[in-house]
Every structure is written in C-alpha cells, then in structure tokens.
Amino acid sequence: METIVAYKFVNWEVPALESLRNSRVYQLRLQLDRVEFINREDKNWITQNVNCNTYFKSIIPLQGYCFDFSYVLKRFWAKQYGQISEYRSTDETALIKYLYGRIDSIVEIS
C-alpha cells in the first residue's frame, strides 16, 4: 500500500497529481516517506517554503495540492527585535538560515 503524498485542497479542476512528480516538493516528500537522508539545502528549502506560504503552517501547497511535512517539522519561538514569533522548521540551523537580522533567542517548543 502506497502512502498519500499529497491531497487536493481546492474546489476547481487541477492537473493530476502525477504531473507534479518531477517537482522538488513531491520528490522531497517521497524521500522523507522512504526515510532517506535529506541534505542541508533541502532542510533549508522546506523551512523556507513552510514559513512563507499564507495558507498553512506545516504544509507546502503546489498547484492545488497540499504536501504535508508536519511529521518532520519542529515548532520554535524566535525572539527578534523585541518580538516573539512562532515558526516551524526542520531544525534550528534551518530556522537561523531562514531568519534575517539579529536573533536574540530561539527556543524549541516540545
């Protein structure tokens, strides 16, 4: 039985999921499902795309489909410029790479 890589989240017609097979998000999701190692660049890419989309907190949307990465993401609070914000990241290093400017502190929320 094959796991579900992504699911449709829009009401209108979108291309078949099979047409996204060569996309980076699809390949990373398959790689993580097979419990394979992902490199630093991929961890940074996942962190960047999860935190930059406006629809979801732990999902990367692509052409009407949701690719869920919640099982590899950790929650962090980061304090910058007197404000505390919540982020999702693969690890602290990827979050530091994602954030700009001076970081006062980062705390992982368990």
pLDDT in tens, 79-97: 999 999 999 999 999 999 9
Q: Which residues fall within 8 angstroms of residue 106, CB to CB, at 6 or more apart?
A: 76, 77, 78, 79, 92, 95, 96
Q: What is the spatial distance between Cα 47 and Cα 60, in angstroms, rounded to a whole number?
A: 10
Question: Where in the chain are the domains?
Answer: 7-68, 74-109
Instruction: Express each pLDDT in 18-47 by its tens digit.
Output: 999 999 999 999 999 999 999 999 999 999
Q: Which residues fall within 8 angstroms of residue 18, CB to CB, at 6 or more apart?
A: none
Total-model pTM: 0.91
